[in-house]
Chains A and B, each alone.
Chain A
Amino acid sequence: MPLIELAGVDHTYGLGPSARVVLRGLDLRLGEQRVGVIGANGSGKSTFARLLNGLVLPTEGTVTVDGLDTRADGRAVRRKVGFVFTDPDAQIVMPTVAEDVAFGLRRRGLDRREVDQRVAAALAAYGLADHRDHPAHLLSGGQKQLLALASVLVTEPEVLVLDEPTTLLDLANSRRIADVVDALPQQVVLVTHSLDLLAGFDRVLVFDDGAVIFDGVPGDAIAHYRKLVT
């Protein structure tokens, strides 16, 4: 497993009087295969997730993935760390299904046949083979999220960060995404409000007001989170 390290990380949005500290004092070493992140709205989970692939650079401290600094080697980090967003509509950038999957493979020096093969394999793996040439906007919400997932996984990242990937989905489609994620050999960092997705995880971080207030196995973490609310 890759090792994700955060050292002395603080993050502030905005400048001057409107500045807001949204993450504080994060010192973490994440080497487990399954890491969950839970916490209240606005507690900093999404900001934390975006730190891991350099979409957000910490105002203080460093974030490294296998020794690669997100500030200095952003590009190399993003090749290693795939990201799935909550809203697949924002993540799908090409008009048709297969084209979107192929999009992540451009500029990788692959020839056309190889790209086609990889795309076909990814579509088959996520049950989208029949939708190859369909416009992405005609897919259901669940299928769109599967497409977003397929488009990221086809690039073979070593780590997959997911920010509430099932929040917009119904029960069946959430289950489907969860099953796909469960089966991945990669390291996974999953931000979620659906606590049942965390069963079987190695480690769960509980965020509150920008800090990690609990770090442990899912059962204890969820109990701690529940206590926080009541």
Chain B
Amino acid sequence: MIKVKIPQPLRNLTDGKDEVSLEGNEIGEILLELEKKYPGIKERLRDEEGKLRRFINIFVNGDDIRHLEGEATPVEERDEVSILPAIAGG
């Protein structure tokens, strides 16, 4: 199982849970599981064409998947996935 951290704005769709555990070998599969298990989340993460929205950031162990292999990024047991909005400077 892979741990996925859920950001505050999506927790009303995950019964208030800030972390869920899902099966999958790559990010795309994990997201598919997440979308299946929690209806409504897909529209929040993806635009009409099914692409991840540009202000959604997905990290694997702290690395942005855009630096890795995007949705094909492999994940294994004990990896931590987080979904986060972009934050302004400071």
A and B found bound together: no
B→A interface (CB under 8 Å): none
Residues of A within 8 A of B (CB): none
